[in-house]
Amino acid sequence: MTEATYPAELIRSAPKAELHVHLEGSVGAETLLALAEDHGVQPPARDVEGIRDWYSFRDFPDFLERYFFVCRLLKRREDFQRVAYDYLLTAHHQGAVHVEFHISSSYHTQEVGLDWSVVLEGAVAGCEQAEQACGISSLLIPDLSPHLGAASAQATMDAVLAQLHPRVVALGMGGPSDRWWDEDFESAFDRARAAGLRTVCHAGEHGPAKEIRHAIENFGAERIQHGIAAIDAPDVLGLLLAKKIPCDVCPASNFALKAVDDLASHPLPRMVEAGLTITLGSDDPPLFHTDLLNEYRIAWEYGQLREAALFDFAKNSITESFATPEAKERWLTS
């Protein structure tokens, strides 16, 4: 029997959205070096190869340390504009018609001390510039960093809600869940919803499936980033299915951060089999030596998923996005 050939061009040209990518995690080695030079910061390695090597992680805390190093290199409006624009053009070449950027708003405003307007205006300028250049649509999802605590989440909400922009559609949360259980993050999500924002949350990535339940029941998450732990918890699987809540899954990220032992044992095929609505994202692509199309290729190669499943991922990414019904209709019929 001959091996099926991966339909690279069919998948590339399928209209698709990317719902799980972090703006700061889209910074490649060249840009990191340029930003370090601009800001007079000693880079962690001298050349592109060195930075690519530095983009490898012992574990999740080690990853977060490096991710926040990259965050700290983004200081000016033009820095945020540059990385948003660059990523959107890359995504466009991979057949993405729409991208929803997660942005570490708590970290920038509360830890670094940037004014939210610097982050917002820069990211919006990059989105507008890319839309003019190639027509790609994009929206923004400010993310809370729960390791900074609930008071910091509230201060982030003050900043974000004071300057709402039509491109800001949802509130998200990433990072470790240690402080979820004893501190009040619920009211940050309540405030977001009261202001008309949608809500999403990272959960069940490294942590147990109970994170997913908590994200849905306490934070009102409408989409779960990762959610891979659901496969081992029938009750949580049932909750995701009953509420038709999609998981934005990133296999290369899960492998790079050792949430799975290897790509062949990633639960993606079992999640599909269980009937979950799945979209694929690249999370922090250069950090994980991946890109959006590589996630589709991984699903084919390691997950043994074929065209129909991959086209479902692409279609789901559009239907589950926070774009307007008109835009979704246009992309789905293009």
Contacts to Zn ion by CB under 5 A: 225, 283
**Residue 205 beta carbon to ligand ADE: minimum distance, rounded to whole angstroms:** 5
Under 8 Å CB-to-CB from 229, ≥6 apart: which residues? 203, 204, 205, 207, 208, 209, 211, 212, 236
Pick the closer one to ligand ADE by CB: 77 or 202.
Answer: 202
Q: What is the DSSP letter of 277?
A: -
Per the CB < 8 A criterion, the answer to whether 246 and 320 are in contact is yes
Cα separation, 152 vs 113, whole angstroms:
12
Pick the closer one to ligand ADE by CB: 175 or 227.
Answer: 175
By CB under 6 A, tell whether 18 contacts ligand ADE: no
C-alpha dist (Å) from residue 95 to 57, 103, 248: 29, 22, 18
Total residues found in the chain within this entry: 334
Query: Residue 195: how many CA atoms within 13 Å on its side-chain side?
Result: 22
By CB under 6 A, tell whether 202 contacts ligand ADE: yes
By CB under 6 A, tell whether 205 contacts ligand ADE: yes
**Residue 138 beta carbon to ligand ADE: minimum distance, rounded to whole angstroms:** 18
What residues does 329 pair with on adjacent strands? Answer: none
Active site residue 205: yes
By CB under 6 A, tell whether 284 contacts ligand ADE: yes
In the list ligand ADE, Zn ion, none, the entry touching 204 (Cβ below 5 to 8 angstroms by class) is none
In the list ligand ADE, Zn ion, none, the entry touching 214 (Cβ below 5 to 8 angstroms by class) is none
By CB under 6 A, tell whether 283 contacts ligand ADE: yes
By CB under 6 A, tell whether 279 contacts ligand ADE: no
Tokens of 85: 């624009």
Residue for token digits 């900043």?
Answer: 159
Pick the closer one to ligand ADE by CB: 18 or 284.
Answer: 284
By CB under 6 A, tell whether 204 contacts ligand ADE: no
Going edge to edge, which strands form the sheet with 16-22? 16-22, 96-103, 137-144, 170-173, 198-203, 223-226, 247-249, 278-280
Pick the closer one to ligand ADE by CB: 24 or 328.
Answer: 24
**Residue 226 beta carbon to Zn ion: minimum distance, rounded to whole angstroms:** 7
Pick the closer one to Zn ion by CB: 36 or 253.
Answer: 253
Q: What is the DSSP string of 303-324?
A: T---HHHHHHHHHHHHHTSSS-
**Near ligand ADE by CB under 6 A: residue from 95, 175, 207, 285:** 175
Residues in 63-92 that interact with ligand ADE by CB under 6 A:
67
Pick the closer one to Zn ion by CB: 33 or 295.
Answer: 295
Q: What is the DSSP letter of 55?
A: S
Given 205, 211, 222, 295, which residue is catalytic? 205
In the list ligand ADE, Zn ion, none, the entry touching 205 (Cβ below 5 to 8 angstroms by class) is ligand ADE
In the list Zn ion, ligand ADE, none, the entry touching 25 (Cβ below 5 to 8 angstroms by class) is ligand ADE
CA dihedral 34, 37, 38, 39 (to 10 degrees): 130
By annotation, the residues acting in catalysis are 205
Residues that bind ligand ADE (CB under 6 A): 22, 25, 67, 174-175, 202, 205, 253, 283-284
